[in-house]
Structure 1
Amino acid sequence: MKIESVLSGFVPEPRGRDGLTLAVLLARQTGARLEVAFVKPPAWDTPGPARAEAGAWAAYLEEQAGSTLAQARERVGDDAEVLTYTHRGSGRGLVELAHKRGADVVVIGSAPRGRRGRISVGSTADQLLHSSPVPVLLAPRGYAEDAPGALTRLTVAYRRGRGGDAAVTGAARIAAALDLPLRLVTLVVASHRRHPLGREMVAGMRRQAMADLTAAARGHRRRLQVDVEVIEGRNVATAMAAGSWERGDLIICASSNTAPLRRVFLGDTSIKIVRAATCPVMILTREP
């Protein structure tokens, strides 16, 4: 996986600033080209008596787009190209734009209804997370107000299998390029611990998870610092809360094994990780 072109979806709201702050940080650290896009709805194309209202609506959209682009330019200066794109759905518009512009990753902020410091998946993210041709990076709510100076570690949410191994390989390339440590984490959900055989089952799951992590890390330790960790909890949220997280962490998740090839598709466990994360999360496309 390479990161040479970053596309940031921007709206003139706190969530837009959160996503743009993360996109700027990623682009600067990777040396990637940064493009900032505002996806605006199409104007009405209505003949007859409604034409005057349609004209007023079109003028309003143009004014809103101009104001939005001005805010984006104020934040990125001359370090990025700022543009508008017309589409009925902001997420689907970013999907099309990512394909047309050759982006390597799309970055957006959290939906506004979510908790501070957490990621909430709104309609834009939902559209991206079920059809994007490139990885999608989500910033937690409030990220712009307390962003780290740089990314300091990549953490892969690892599950044995082709998707998990591909995620490790992609993350290792990014970590090597940025000279960052890589951590592989597996969540062990111990919901049956109180069962008479529960403790033995959980212990076996923990041993297997550690063996899988060790095997996944082995081929990358020649050129990288790779740590492995098993995190346990009664569910995904409590397991995530039990882990150690840095301000500069970035979590990387694989897409579901049922996703179309070269597309992002969020699985059940990954969506729970996204919702419980306190740092940005990148969801990769499914690779062959």
Structure 2
Amino acid sequence: MKIEHILAGFIPETRGRDGLALAVLLARQAGARLTVGHVHPPAWPTPGPGKVDAEWRAYITAQAAQALQQARLALTGVRDVPIGYMLEADRGSGRGLVGLAGRIGADAVVIGSAPRGSRGRIALGSTADQLLHSCPVPVALAPRGYAEDHPPAIRRLAVAYRRDPASDDAVRPAAEIAAALGTPLHLITLVVSRGMRVKAAEQTLDRLRERAAADLGEAAHGHDVEVTTQVLEGGDVASALGGAGCEGALLVCASSTAGPLRRVFLGDTSMKIIRASACPVMMLPRNPPPRPAEPAGSTGGARRARSGEA
């Protein structure tokens, strides 16, 4: 998975600057270029009475230009990352960013937390919701206050892993992102004990620990980056994740298997992880499984081509 072009969604608020801070870190480490995008409401589709439609168009144009100017001011000191600025018209900010990402060929989209979240945590608003249910490229979310207190670089890429097709498919692109950023890959599995009966809890936990360690060991093989593993335990996702050590980390999650192919789709566990994480989180889109190799001389490919199958 390449990281050559990053799109940062910006609004002239603290959360916009949080997203910019994370986007600059990622672009700098990956040697990528950065586009700052601002989504504004579209002009009215039909002319209104008098000059109302022209006045509205002039107003939103001026507001959008002012937003990008604030982004430029926030990035005045950044000299080592190529930066461009673009506007997109859409009624939904998340949908607008998805459209803009496709139009410019972005490899990832970065935004900040919704404003209602606690400092150092991520809250999901309408923009994130739209991105996390439709974006065809990875979506990274910066915690609230990240612009004011962030590490000088991403030092570790942590992957929330459990043995299932979605997580297995996510490890390879996560390793490629880690290589692009020049960081080690850290695979973590959460063992949650809430809801276990007291008498059976310890035996069950022992089995879960052993299974998690074995799964992590198997997933760690065959990558071109340094890989470490860790089993984290707690009564719930938040308490288990608290032992991960998030300083300088970027946490990667796989999309739910219930979602559409080639799209980010947020499942229940991923939502809990995002809300509990004290570091930025990146959600990967769900990719189709690799197609089995056909025997030599097979005409299956030709048949699919003639029948119009992809």
Residue pair 1:132, 1:263 contacting (<8 A) in 2 also: yes
Aligned AA (2:99) = E
Q: Please list every run of 5 or more consecutive structure 2 residues that lacks an aligned counterpart in the other structure.
A: 289-310
Residue pair 1:193, 1:199 contacting (<8 A) in 2 also: no
- Corresponding position: 1:61 with 2:64: no
Q: What is residue 2 of structure 2 aligned with on the other side?
A: 2
Aligned AA (1:170) = P
Q: Report the alpha carbon displacement of residue 168 of structure 1 after superposing the two structures with TM.
A: 1.3
CA distance in 2 between partners of 1:244 and 1:134 (Å): 27
Q: Report the alpha carbon displacement of residue 176 of structure 1 after superposing the two structures with TM.
A: 2.2
Q: What is residue 25 of structure 2 aligned with on the other side?
A: 25
CA distance in 2 between partners of 1:251 and 1:48 (Å): 48
Residue pair 2:37, 2:87 contacting (<8 A) in 1 also: yes
CA distance in 2 between partners of 1:267 and 1:205 (Å): 22
Moved more, 188-197 or 5-14: 188-197
Q: What is residue 70 of structure 1 aligned with on the other side?
A: 69
Alignment of 1:30-45 (within 5 A): 30-45=30-45
CA distance in 1 between partners of 2:106 and 2:86 (Å): 14
Aligned length in residues: 284
Q: What is residue 270 of structure 1 aligned with on the other side?
A: 270
Residue pair 2:142, 2:279 contacting (<8 A) in 1 also: yes
Give the structure-1-normalised TM-score.
0.95
Q: Report the alpha carbon displacement of residue 46 of structure 1 after superposing the two structures with TM.
A: 4.4
Aligned AA (1:156) = V
Give the structure-2-normalised TM-score.
0.88
CA pair 193-61 structure 1, distance change in 2 beyond 3 A = same
1:37-75 Cα distance to aligned partner (Å, 9 max, x none):
1000012244453x4333322222111111111111223
- Corresponding position: 1:176 with 2:175: no
Q: What is residue 190 of structure 1 aligned with on the other side?
A: 193
Q: What is residue 156 of structure 1 aligned with on the other side?
A: 159
User: Computing the radius of gyration over CA atoms, which structure comes out larger, 1 or 2?
Assistant: 2
- Corresponding position: 1:255 with 2:255: yes
Q: What is residue 101 of structure 2 aligned with on the other side?
A: 98
Q: What is residue 230 of structure 1 aligned with on the other side?
A: 231
SS at match of 1:272: helix
Residue pair 2:29, 2:182 contacting (<8 A) in 1 also: no
CA distance in 2 between partners of 1:25 and 1:170 (Å): 19
Residue pair 1:40, 1:65 contacting (<8 A) in 2 also: yes
Identity among equivalent positions (%) equals 59
SS at match of 2:198: coil
1:105-133 Cα distance to aligned partner (Å, 9 max, x none):
00000001110100000000000000001
CA RMSD in angstroms, aligned pairs only? 1.4
Residue pair 2:9, 2:97 contacting (<8 A) in 1 also: yes
